[in-house]
Chains A and B, each alone.
Chain A
Amino acid sequence: MKLTAGFAATLLIGTMLAAGAANAKSLVYCSEGSPENFTPAINTTGTSFDAARPVFDTLVRFTPGTTQTEPALSEKTDVSEDGLTLTFHLRKGVKFHSGVNGFTPTRDFNADDVLWSFGRQQDPAHPYAKVSGGAYDYFNDMGMPDLLEKISKTDDNTVVIKLKQPNAPILANLAMDFATIESAEYADFLLKKGTPEQFDQIPVGTGPFSFVDYQKDAVIRFKANPDYWGGKPKVDDLVYAITPDASARYAKMKAGECQIMGYPNPADIPTIAKDDTIDLVQQAGLNIGYLAFNAQKPPFDKPEVRMALAMAIDRDAILKEVYQGAGQKAKNPIPPTMWSYDNDAKDIAYDPAAAKAALEKAGVKDLETDLWWMPVSRPYNPNAKRMAEMMQADLEKVGIHAKLVSYEWGEYRKRAQAGEHQMALLGWTGDNGDPDNFLAVLLGCGKDGKPNGNNIPKWCDQKFQDDVNKAATLSDQAERTKLYVDAQKIVDAQVPWLNVAHSTVFEPVSKKVTGYKVSPLGSHVFYNVDVAE
């Protein structure tokens, strides 16, 4: 009798599971590579951030498809009048994922988790500070150690961050992946088990999906978090099918083996556009590809020479040949998807005759120079070598003899950052959608008047610096916009670099998918996505 009852129960559960399985909705994303691990604080690549994002939340987050921030784990954020104190009112009743790696949380998310997550990156004495290599690149790169005075809690649901100086981009920084909030309780649980490194391999968060498993180089599985504070996701299973080859990713899309893919091959774009089962979603990327003139080396120290060189280069031809339609000509150092973009800026027209005359007027004749090109393909410059060759030919027409130079990628950057070049191709992809992340990082100088490391043109301008510095201390976006537009006008007049292009980001999405938004930040977010049966 017992056996029969047991059998019946098993049959019932089996039937229910089978029914559940039959109705379960799955979304497969063909991703481009394997994550380094699942802790954004120690990651550096977009691939790794994408892999951890379904599991985690941040205090504030980017509204999908935009660079604006909105509340997430912090329901409400107060900024003091002097801009030095930020108070985060944490959302109540938020649950950490249960059942992952044998961990069952005994409490809801609270201020301790926030302190723990930042503490790991900030405090060398933190029990997890040295786990998994202990390098917190983004935290350091975003200047957090110099910015944060103190992080403390007032009570379980209130966290206060005190800054050393006012910093407007701080909220955008806190929406970045490195500021992900993790479970202090899970960390303790693993520490007691003696396996702290599992913390970075088997993630537990509060996000819309909980981690199921990762088979290296093959697949990452997540399942919907039924208790998600924002409501259960629309799909039950989220699968990342790791497919590094772009052609293979597209082939999988065509075969219906995945519904969304990242980073299509530029050569495949026209074919994908014609595919009637796929929507080719596109957006200007949050990036800039530029040709930097070393403003500390004559004759590039003269703005009129830089302007002449800029006029000598035919960017329309470059757009056609190098970007093959997947890019738009840049007239400002920041991309048009970013707030404070100077729409009124006048683009530098291609005019070799005027360029030649201007060079003669500046006393530059038969100039021998170098022109550096990056040995790697980047989103903002798919083929730097070809670009350099075209620029070389254009410059030759106005009497400038450019020698093409390249180095191994790491070496290239190191030397360019040290200012060894005369002209160098490089670019940037934004991290947080804040103009400060372009203008201050790429063209900024220190208090000593020396250019920052990422300032490849090695160009410093006091008025520009004052505008950018002041904008970073204000919280009013309209006021900041005015200053950033002003700063862009200075750059446009001084031409420390030639704005070449902003690449277009394409994402093939199956027509069955609804609710997916391409992020200008290059991240992939699947929370709101649904798949038609």
Chain B
Amino acid sequence: MLRFLIRRLALTIPTFVALMFVTFMLLRLVPGDPIEVRRGERGISAERLADLRHQMGLDQPIWKQFLDYVWSILHGDFGTSIVSHAPVLQEFWTLFPATLELSICAALFSIILGVPAGVFAAVKRGSFYDQALMTSALTGYSMPIFWWGLVLIFFMSNTLHLTPVSGRVDLIKFYYPAHTGLLLIDSLIWGPKGAFIDVVRHLILPTIVLGTLPLAVVARMTRSSMLEVLEEDYVRTARAKGLSPFRVVSMHALRNALIPVVTTIGLQVGTLLAGAVQTENIFSWPGIGKWLIGSITRRDYPALQGGIMLIAIMVIAFNLLIDMTLGIINPKVRNER
């Protein structure tokens, strides 16, 4: 297990270096200049431009800028935002809880609905239910997040008045300082009466929108994995022994069928974060996604680089965790090269 862990950790080092290089270079290769972007329609004198470039270190050779950047990251310094002048790490930690909370809810939503739906479809293979579920999954898979979000706002918020339109909490009624930044926890412990329910109501639409794609993936994966397992000899044996269909599925088949599903869920972390960028913009959700989009528009290099690196660290760490979990569940994984 230790060797497996060391091997996996060693693999992450080149990943990081490549990632640092790619983020750094890509931002500099795309057209657009952080100073010019700030200027609107105004002209700027060559001296002033040079002065501002110097202040931001943009007049250094690219290789020097890159080395400085790597050196800073190795020292835990992700830079200072050009726009807000606040440390990137501080901005990240202020906004990350909102994204984390939304992503966890969306992941739970996709697992809680996706696994049973996949199992049900596999058991009822070829039936109307199977076809209906898989068609829904395909629809969910191909649904553009932006459109889906607006449709839900229109029906749920503006027509039926069941959910709030956007934000994390009613800004007038429930004003209390953030403690953990995870409003489900904050509102439950420190919030005034009714705050928790309000937070839950605000979470419903973004959770559905962000969770739809992973839900479809999980349901389809569970179904196909389940179908495979249901054909295995030990399942047939279990059936032949006269066990009830429920027991066969839940005790024997599901456990094995879930292994590839766990891997899929792990891979969905990246999807969730990518989806969060759009979801957060539609629902004015103050998280990392919204922050990154704003940073791109303003060519805020440090915020963008730092933000992407920090997200990458999270994704890699999470995948490492999933690999280790799989390694524990299934010894075969540990020996794979």
Contact, CB under 8 Å: B84 / A37 = yes
Contact with B along A246-258 (1 / 0, CB 8 A): 0110011011010
Q: State A407–B37 Cα separation when bound (angstroms).
A: 13
Please give, as numbers and ranges, the residues of chain B lying within 8 Å of A239 by CB-CB distance.
Answer: 171-172
Contact with A along B58-101 (1 / 0, CB 8 A): 00000000000000000000000011111000010011001000
Q: State A1–B69 Cα separation when bound (angstroms).
A: 65
Does chain B have a CB within 8 A of A337?
no
Contact with A along B14-49 (1 / 0, CB 8 A): 000000000000000011110111111111110010
B-contacting 9-mer, from A133-141, A319-327, A390-398, A493-501:
A133-141
Does chain A have a CB within 8 A of B270?
no
Q: Which residue of B lies closest to A417 (CB)?
A: B43
Contact, CB under 8 Å: B281 / A244 = yes
B-contacting 9-mer, from A162-170, A216-224, A360-368, A477-485:
A216-224
Please give, as numbers and ranges, the residues of chain A lying within 8 Å of B35 by CB-CB distance.
Answer: 410
Contact, CB under 8 Å: A137 / B172 = no
Q: State A257–B169 Cα separation when bound (angstroms).
A: 11
Does chain A have a CB within 8 A of B234?
no
Does chain A have a CB within 8 A of B286?
yes
Contact, CB under 8 Å: A410 / B37 = yes
Contact, CB under 8 Å: B284 / A245 = yes
Contact, CB under 8 Å: A454 / B171 = no
Please give, as numbers and ranges, the residues of chain A lying within 8 Å of B281 by CB-CB distance.
Answer: 244-245
Does chain A have a CB within 8 A of B196?
no
Please give, as numbers and ranges, the residues of chain B lying within 8 Å of A409 by CB-CB distance.
Answer: 32, 36-37
Q: State A357–B166 Cα separation when bound (angstroms).
A: 58
Q: State A213–B177 Cα separation when bound (angstroms).
A: 9
Does chain A have a CB within 8 A of B301?
no
- Select one of B33, B282, B287 contacting A410, CB under 8 A: B33
Does chain B have a CB within 8 A of A211?
no
Does chain A have a CB within 8 A of B57?
no
- Select one of A37, A133, A221, A413 contacting B39, CB under 8 A: A413
Contact, CB under 8 Å: B171 / A28 = yes
- Select one of A217, A251, A411 contacting B31, CB under 8 A: A411
Does chain B have a CB within 8 A of A377?
no
Contact, CB under 8 Å: A257 / B165 = yes
Q: State A251–B283 Cα separation when bound (angstroms).
A: 10
Q: State A408–B299 Cα separation when bound (angstroms).
A: 12
Contact, CB under 8 Å: A410 / B52 = no
Please give, as numbers and ranges, the residues of chain B lying within 8 Å of A244 by CB-CB distance.
Answer: 281, 284, 290, 294
Contact, CB under 8 Å: A243 / B284 = yes
B-contacting 9-mer, from A95-103, A108-116, A292-300, A425-433:
A425-433
Kindly provide the distance from the CB of B174 to the nearest chain A CB, expressed in whole angstroms: 11
Does chain B have a CB within 8 A of A36?
yes
In the complex, how many residues of chain A place their beta carbon closer than 8 angstroms to a beta carbon of chain B?
A: 54
- Select one of B31, B94, B166, B299 contacting A407, CB under 8 A: B31
Contact, CB under 8 Å: A241 / B284 = yes
A-contacting 9-mer, from B153-161, B244-252, B324-332:
B153-161
Kindly provide the distance from the CB of B149 to the nearest chain A CB, expressed in whole angstroms: 9
Q: State A243–B282 Cα separation when bound (angstroms).
A: 8
Q: State A132–B82 Cα separation when bound (angstroms).
A: 9
Contact, CB under 8 Å: A197 / B85 = yes
Kindly provide the distance from the CB of B268 to the nearest chain A CB, expressed in whole angstroms: 24
Kindly provide the distance from the CB of A9 to the nearest chain B CB, expressed in whole angstroms: 21
Please give, as numbers and ranges, the residues of chain B lying within 8 Å of A106 by CB-CB distance.
Answer: none
Contact with B along A3-16 (1 / 0, CB 8 A): 00000000000000
Contact with B along A479-522 (1 / 0, CB 8 A): 00000000000000000000000000000000000000000000
- A247 and B167 in contact, given A33-B294, A132-B85 (Cβ under 8 angstroms): no
- A248 and B38 in contact, given A216-B91, A408-B31 (Cβ under 8 angstroms): no
Kindly provide the distance from the CB of B311 to the nearest chain A CB, expressed in whole angstroms: 16
Q: State A453–B38 Cα separation when bound (angstroms).
A: 16
Please give, as numbers and ranges, the residues of chain A lying within 8 Å of B220 by CB-CB distance.
Answer: none
Does chain B have a CB within 8 A of A44?
yes
Please give, as numbers and ranges, the residues of chain A lying within 8 Å of B91 by CB-CB distance.
Answer: 216
Contact, CB under 8 Å: A454 / B286 = no
Q: State A40–B243 Cα separation when bound (angstroms).
A: 74
Does chain B have a CB within 8 A of A452?
yes
Please give, as numbers and ranges, the residues of chain A lying within 8 Å of B307 by CB-CB distance.
Answer: none
Residues from 112 to 166 in B contacting A, C-beta threshold 8 Å = 150, 153-154, 157-158, 161, 164-166
Please give, as numbers and ranges, the residues of chain B lying within 8 Å of A450 by CB-CB distance.
Answer: none
Does chain B have a CB within 8 A of A26?
yes
Does chain A have a CB within 8 A of B223?
no
Please give, as numbers and ranges, the residues of chain A lying within 8 Å of B98 by CB-CB distance.
Answer: 218
Contact with B along A196-239 (1 / 0, CB 8 A): 01001100000000000101111101000000000000000101
Q: State A239–B38 Cα separation when bound (angstroms).
A: 26
Does chain A have a CB within 8 A of B178?
yes
Please give, as numbers and ranges, the residues of chain A lying within 8 Å of B94 by CB-CB distance.
Answer: 215-216
- A37 and B286 in contact, given A219-B171, A257-B165 (Cβ under 8 angstroms): no
Please give, as numbers and ranges, the residues of chain B lying within 8 Å of A44 by CB-CB distance.
Answer: 38-40
Does chain B have a CB within 8 A of A242?
yes
Contact, CB under 8 Å: A248 / B283 = yes
Does chain B have a CB within 8 A of A34?
yes
Contact, CB under 8 Å: B175 / A221 = yes
- A26 and B172 in contact, given A215-B178, A216-B291, A410-B37 (Cβ under 8 angstroms): yes
Q: Which residue of A lies closest to B34 (CB)?
A: A410
Q: State A33–B82 Cα separation when bound (angstroms).
A: 17
Q: State A216–B158 Cα separation when bound (angstroms).
A: 26
Kindly provide the distance from the CB of A428 to the nearest chain B CB, expressed in whole angstroms: 6
Contact, CB under 8 Å: A251 / B37 = no
Q: Which residue of B lies closest to A408 (CB)?
A: B31
Contact, CB under 8 Å: B172 / A28 = yes
Does chain B have a CB within 8 A of A92?
no
Does chain A have a CB within 8 A of B335?
no
Q: State A132–B87 Cα separation when bound (angstroms).
A: 11
Does chain B have a CB within 8 A of A346?
no
Residues from 146 to 169 in A contacting B, C-beta threshold 8 Å = none
Does chain A have a CB within 8 A of B55?
yes
Q: State A219–B282 Cα separation when bound (angstroms).
A: 16
- Select one of A248, A255, A426 contacting B282, CB under 8 A: A248
Contact, CB under 8 Å: B166 / A410 = no
Q: State A251–B149 Cα separation when bound (angstroms).
A: 12
Contact, CB under 8 Å: B290 / A428 = no
Contact, CB under 8 Å: A241 / B40 = no
- Select one of B32, B55, B166 contacting A133, CB under 8 A: B55
- A454 and B33 in contact, given A216-B91, A241-B171, A248-B153 (Cβ under 8 angstroms): no
Contact with B along A27-70 (1 / 0, CB 8 A): 01000011011000000100000000000000000000000000
- Select one of B30, B40, B48, B165 contacting A251, CB under 8 A: B165
- A216 and B48 in contact, given A248-B165, A413-B39 (Cβ under 8 angstroms): no
- Select one of A28, A37, A251 contacting B166, CB under 8 A: A251
Does chain B have a CB within 8 A of A126?
no
Does chain B have a CB within 8 A of A403?
no
Contact, CB under 8 Å: B43 / A453 = yes
Does chain B have a CB within 8 A of A386?
no
Contact, CB under 8 Å: A413 / B41 = yes
Does chain B have a CB within 8 A of A414?
yes
Kindly provide the distance from the CB of A176 to the nearest chain B CB, expressed in whole angstroms: 14
Contact with A along B259-287 (1 / 0, CB 8 A): 00000000000000000000001111011
Q: List 5 A-B contacts (CB under 8 A).
A: A248-B165, A255-B158, A378-B41, A409-B36, A413-B43
**Residues on B facing A (Cβ under 8 Å):** 30-33, 35-45, 48, 52, 55, 82-86, 91, 94-95, 98, 150, 153-154, 157-158, 161, 164-168, 170-172, 175, 177-178, 281-284, 286-287, 290-291, 294, 299
